[in-house]
Structure formats: C-alpha cells, structure tokens
Amino acid sequence: MQHRYFGDVGDFGKYGLLRTLCGVREEPRLKLGIIWYLFPDESHNDDGKHVGYLKKVDPSFRDCDELLYDKLRSLLFDGDILIGGNRHLGSAESSLILPEETIFYSQPLSYEPGHPASARVAARNAWLHGALSATESADLIFMDPDNGIECASVKRTSVKGPKYAYWSDIDAFVSRGQSVLIYHHLNRSKPHVEQVAEKIAFICHRYPEEVGACAMTFGRGTARAYFLIAAPDQKDLLFERIMRIGGGKWGRHFKPHPNDRRS
C-alpha cells in the first residue's frame, strides 16, 4: 500500500468490502485489524490516479454505499478540485470510513539500501511481530500489500519484498484462529479466473479443512482480487456476506468466487 492510492476507485471497492465483511451496519460485528504493508510512494506509473468516479456523482458507485462514497468525495474533492493533501492513509484512519474500533498497523515496511540480507530478515521479522501484537484482539485481519501474495521471483529480502505478503506472514494469523483477507494484484500471465482458482486451491491445500477459502474480484481500475481465509467459527457468516455483495448493488463491480470445500 502507498499513501498515493488513497481514495482511488480500487480503494472504494476495498473499503466497501471491508465494511460489509465486518458488519458495519449489522450484527454480529467483527473487529477489524488492518495491516497496511506501507511502502514509500513511487511515481513511475499512474497507479492511484483513478479518482474520476468521485469528481461527478456517479450512481453506479454511490448506490453501493452512500455513506462511504460521500465521505470519500468530501475528503478528496472541493467542487472539481482534487485535495491532494488528503491522499494519505491517515485520512482512512481518522475519517470513520471503517468502524471506530478498527485497529490500524501503519508501521512502514521497506529496506534500507545496501543492508545485507540478515538485516532485512531482522527488519521484516520485527515488523511482523509488531503487526501480530497490534492486531491480537481482531477477528478479521486485512493485509494490504502493494502487489499481493508472494510470487516465486521475489524473495522476502529483495528490494521489492515489502510489496508482498508471504505465506509465512499469513500463516501466523491463521494459526491463531483469525480470519484473513488479502489483497492481490492479478497479472497477465493467464486468465484472471484461472489465477483466482489456483490461489484458492493452494489455500485449500495449505490449511485444514475447517478453514474456509473464497475470493472476490473487483472489476474497476487495476485487476485485483481479495482472497479470504475464514476461521471455522466465522466461515458461514463471512461466506454469506461475500455472496450478498455479489448479488446486491455491489454486484456490478464485484464477482464472488466461492469455495467452501463442500462442493
């Protein structure tokens, strides 16, 4: 995650998904813990610039979650003028877009140039320990890495390593009984539906049968998916909320990919 992404169309979908999953308007409420995987802002591409959906009121987005849409619009636009100074994760944390009890872990994750692998391992381990400690009381953990779940070509100690959530990160939260949602950027290596199916199959292989696995893809802006690893005692609730998103007004933007190991 980078500060410059705040409020883009992908963020709108992300916050809408989180609001629904944690029960912002209904019981039972799930306490949310967000791990930003905060990476220094880059400027080599146009990522994060898709905010046109807010400039002029667009019912196809606003109808999905009026409170969320209006709040983001008030934060980012003064009339037609973009308020660049509010494009910061602090805006997400202080604006009550998400429930007041949400835990935010905002410690930056990056490596100092020239540091040896051993120092990078130590830095990453310390960062993860901090994330685990901060979110111990959360029911649902959201991991928001820049690029998504690890890939074979990028090691944890590489310069780009902080832009990925590694399975060892995910294991630490799943093993203590928390549900975990992970952002993942889809690529052009094969059709998106195949990429999603492969990740779900891997999750099912990696974790016990009692753990649920499903995904959502968001069809606006950059191709992205959200993989849910649901704790046994939350699986039915979270799967019901996932399917509701896909069948309601959000359905024009989100597509669910269910898999509860019963099919």
pLDDT of amino acid 48: 46
Q: In terms of pTM, does the model score above 0.85?
A: yes
What's the pLDDT tens digit per position in 152-197? 999 999 989 999 999 999 999 999 999 999 999 998 888 999 999 9
What's the pLDDT tens digit per position in 104-149? 999 998 888 888 999 999 999 999 999 999 999 999 999 999 999 9
Question: How is residue 9 written in tokens?
Answer: 């169309």
pLDDT of amino acid 77: 86
For residue 262, pLDDT beyond 70:
no
* 212 three-state secondary structure: strand
What's the pLDDT tens digit per position in 28-87? 999 999 999 887 765 544 444 788 899 889 999 999 999 999 999 988 887 888 877 777
Question: Once rounded to an integer, what is the mean pLDDT over residues 221-228?
Answer: 88
pLDDT of amino acid 43: 52
pLDDT of amino acid 42: 55
pLDDT of amino acid 110: 86
Question: Residue 141: which residues within 8 A CB-CB, separation 6 or more?
Answer: 33, 34, 35, 135, 173, 178, 179, 180, 181
Whether the Cβ atoms of residue 181 and residue 142 lie closer than 8 Å to each other: yes
B/e letters for 211-238, b = 16+ CB within 10 Å, e = fewer, are: bbbbbbbbebbebbbbbbbbbeebbebb
Going through the chain in order, the beta strands assigned E by DSSP cover 32-35, 77-78, 81-82, 103-105, 140-143, 148-149, 164-165, 179-185, 212-218, 224-230, 254-257
pLDDT of amino acid 261: 54
Find the helix packing angle between 66-76 and 9-21, rounded to 10°: 140
